[in-house]
């Protein structure tokens, strides 16, 4: 995991333009061993930006038909804050089933895992991994990679915002050694209970350190805090 995270950070650091992100998305796809990766962002004025590995013909058709209005992934994730497996979304309507069949015929895999992201000034983004394997293989795959996919979602969103010039963060207040310890253990995969035990503190105290670190980093949640701290070189794992 550590080597993959280091490679992911390197991928993001290599990007110097929005076009570069399209190249890096191919590297990330190979790292996660999936068929497709998609990052799609819409800002408060409706401007859109995407990097993805779907076939251009499907992308053009999707845009021309306005499928974002019926796509269960877009509709379902817009109402959520937590990552979701596509099987938990509502595909029951005739329109949704017809859309899915078109997508499958165009090379989109049946399996998917999407991470909704809320950014500054009303930005909404979606990061998706997509594959063609069976349910059992997908369950094993998502169990192995889900946490890293969530981190990557925040990495690429932050990088895209920086490159677009929309994300000008205020200088980060330095974290205390204890706050750094807490985020480091969580980044390594410890649960909150395990991290508290390792640091010989209560879970209540750990939550206080975590909330303080999130505030200093301007993070929306714990995963976002870990992603920002890693991206800014504040953690060594």
List of residues 6+ apart from 175 with CB closer than 8 A: 183, 213, 216, 217, 229, 234
Q: For the residues 163-181, what does the mean pLDDT come to?
A: 72
Phi/psi at 128 (5° precision): -135, 140
Residue 211 structural domain: 177-231
Chain-centroid distance of CA 10 in Å reads 16
> Maximum CA pair distance of the chain?
57
Given a contact cutoff of 8 angstroms between Cβ atoms, the answer to whether 111 and 130 are in contact is yes
Q: Is the pLDDT of residue 1 over 80?
A: no
Question: What's the number of domains the chain is made of?
Answer: 2
CA nearest to 39, candidates 125, 140, 151: 125
Q: Given this model, what pLDDT does residue 210 score? A: 93
Give the separation between CA 212 and CA 166, rounded to whole angstroms: 25
Domain end among 138, 164, 190: 164
Best mean pLDDT range from 5-14, 39-48, 131-140, 162-171 = 131-140
Look at residue 223 and tell me if it is in a domain.
Answer: yes
80: left (phi over 0), alpha (psi -120 to 50) or beta: beta
| Distance spanning both ends of the chain, measured CA to CA | 10
pLDDT grade for 167, boundaries at 50, 70 and 90: very low
Question: Is 170 a member of any domain?
Answer: no
Cα(142)–Cα(177) distance, rounded to whole angstroms? 33
pLDDT of res. 3 = 66
224 with 186, same domain: the answer is: yes
* Residue 138 is assigned to a structural domain of this protein: yes
CATH number at residue 201: 1.10.10.10
CATH number at residue 34: 3.30.450.80
The residues that bridge with 127 in the sheet, in sequence order, are 39, 115
What does residue 172 show for φ and ψ, rounded to 5 degrees? -75, 130
pLDDT at residue 168 is higher than 90: no
Which residues have CB under 8 Å from 133's CB, separation 6+? 109, 111, 141
Q: For residue 236, what pLDDT is reported?
A: 67
Beta bridge partners of 14: none
Q: Is the residue at 171 inside a domain?
A: no
145, 131 contact by CB (below 8 A): no
> Any idea what DSSP says for residue 122?
G
Same domain, yes or no: 21 and 112:
yes
Of 153-162, 196-205, 208-217, the one with minimum mean pLDDT is 153-162
* Same structural domain, 15 and 61: yes
One domain, residues 62 and 90: yes
Q: Are residues 191 and 86 in the same domain?
A: no
Least confident of 7-21, 44-58, 94-108, 171-185: 7-21
According to DSSP, the β-strands at 84-85 and 48-52 are unpaired
The sign of the torsion formed by the CA atoms of 145, 27, 101, 153 equals positive
- Does the pTM exceed 0.75? no
Final residue before a domain boundary, out of 164, 186, 218 = 164
């Amino acid at each position: 995991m550590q080597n993959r995270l280091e490679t992911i950070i390197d991928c993001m650091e290599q990007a110097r333009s929005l076009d570069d992100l399209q190249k890096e998305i191919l590297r990330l796809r190979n790292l996660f061993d999936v068929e497709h990766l998609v990052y799609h962002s819409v800002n408060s004025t409706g401007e859109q930006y995407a990097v993805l590995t779907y076939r251009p013909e499907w992308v053009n058709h999707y845009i021309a038909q306005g499928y974002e209005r019926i796509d269960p992934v877009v509709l379902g994730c817009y109402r959520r804050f937590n990552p979701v497996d596509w099987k938990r979304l509502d595909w029951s309507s005739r329109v949704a089933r017809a859309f899915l069949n078109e997508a499958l015929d165009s090379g989109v895999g049946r399996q998917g895992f999407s991470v909704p992201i809320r950014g500054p000034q009303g930005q909404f983004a979606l990061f998706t991994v997509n594959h063609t394997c069976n349910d059992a293989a997908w369950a094993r795959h998502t169990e192995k990679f889900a946490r890293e996919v969530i981190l990557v979602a925040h990495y690429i969103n932050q990088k895209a915002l920086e490159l677009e010039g929309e994300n000008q963060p205020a200088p980060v207040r330095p974290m205390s050694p204890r706050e750094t310890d807490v985020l480091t253990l969580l980044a390594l995969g410890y649960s909150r209970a395990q991290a508290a035990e390792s640091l010989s503190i209560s879970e209540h105290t750990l939550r206080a350190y975590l909330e303080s670190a999130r505030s200093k980093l301007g993070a929306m949640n714990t995963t976002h805090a870990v992603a920002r701290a890693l991206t800014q070189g504040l953690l060594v794992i």
